[in-house]
Amino acid sequence: MMQTPFVNIHTHTAKNCGVELVNIDNFDAVLNGTFVSAGLHPWKIGKCDHQQTIESIENWCCNSQIAAIGETGIDRAIDTSISLQMNIFETQLDIAKRYRLPLIIHCVRAYSDFLQVIKNESATTFIFHGFNGNSHTAYQLLTHGTMLSFGANLLKNNKLQDVFKAIPNDCIFLETDTKEMNISDIYNFAAALRNVSIDDLKQIIFNNLTRIFGNRWTTIG
């Protein structure tokens, strides 16, 4: 009988520990056999050819080489205009809708922007990675069927811990993002917060993985 694996829903460095959705920053190639996401991040908008990058992402979708679009999103803490960020995000949202893929969302000071978008997009799954909002924001997002992923900040932010303890099982993921740490460390802390065993938490999050991604996480490559 297979042991339920850890699920790391967003990482930039594969550590070969359970099921890892690896964000690809190199737009020249996708790692065959790896469960990957790819998108035009708001921070990269001013550093690349937008059209070429979007075409690369869509080509990978055509070849079933990626499992999710992202990171993509809105960041109000950077200089890039919000109108340009929103235009590029909406282009990637259209791709996700055409290929029925979830989106990995980067959101900084922009939850209200996304609430306007997602209330009309019930057929698309939005996974807010590195969620760091308050309980009111979490409730508003979850009302529209989003998923919230928690990373290293969960270990040190008391208010975020309260959010994590309160939300339903079927809304959560865990991640390491860019941190040099093991996903098991986050699971250990998160399980204690929710007063469940590690095995129970692994099963909860694995169930979310299979519901959102189907068998795609086993067939990339």
Q: Does domain 19-219 have CATH number 3.20.20.140?
A: yes
Tell me the pLDDT band of 29, cut-offs 50, 70 and 90.
low
Q: Each residue of 157-208: pLDDT tens digit?
A: 999 999 999 999 999 999 999 999 999 999 999 999 999 999 999 999 999 9
Q: Of 37, 4, 34, whose CA–CA distance to 210 is shortest?
A: 4
Q: Reply yes or no on whether the pLDDT at 103 is more than 90.
A: yes
Q: What is the pLDDT of residue 2?
A: 65
Answer whether 126's CB lies under 8 Å from 103's CB: yes
Structure tokens of 179?
């941190």
Lowest mean pLDDT among 48-52, 107-111, 173-177, 180-184: 48-52
- Between the alpha carbon of residue 154 and those of residues 67, 150, 160, 190, the distances in Å are 26, 6, 6, 8
| DSSP state for residue 31 in the 8-state scheme | -
Instruction: Say which DSSP state 153 is in.
Output: G
Contacts of 143 (CB under 8 A, 6+ apart): none
* Domain extent listing, the chain: 19-219
- Contacting residues for 195 by C-beta, under 8 A, at least 6 apart: none
For 80-91, what is each residue's pLDDT tens digit?
A: 999 999 999 999
pTM of the entire structure? 0.95
* Closest by CA position to 84, among listed 111, 125, 50: 50
Q: What stretch of H or E contains 162?
A: helix 158-166
Cβ atoms of 70 and 37 closer than 8 Å: yes
Residue 158's Cβ-count burial label (10 Å; 0-12, 13-18, 19+) is exposed
Q: Is 128 helix (H, G, I), strand (E, B) or coil?
A: strand
Mean pLDDT of the chain: 92
In 3-state terms, the chain is what percent helix, strand and coil (to 5)? 45, 15, 35
- The more confidently predicted of residues 60 and 175 is 175
What is the mean pLDDT of the segment spanning 68-75? 96
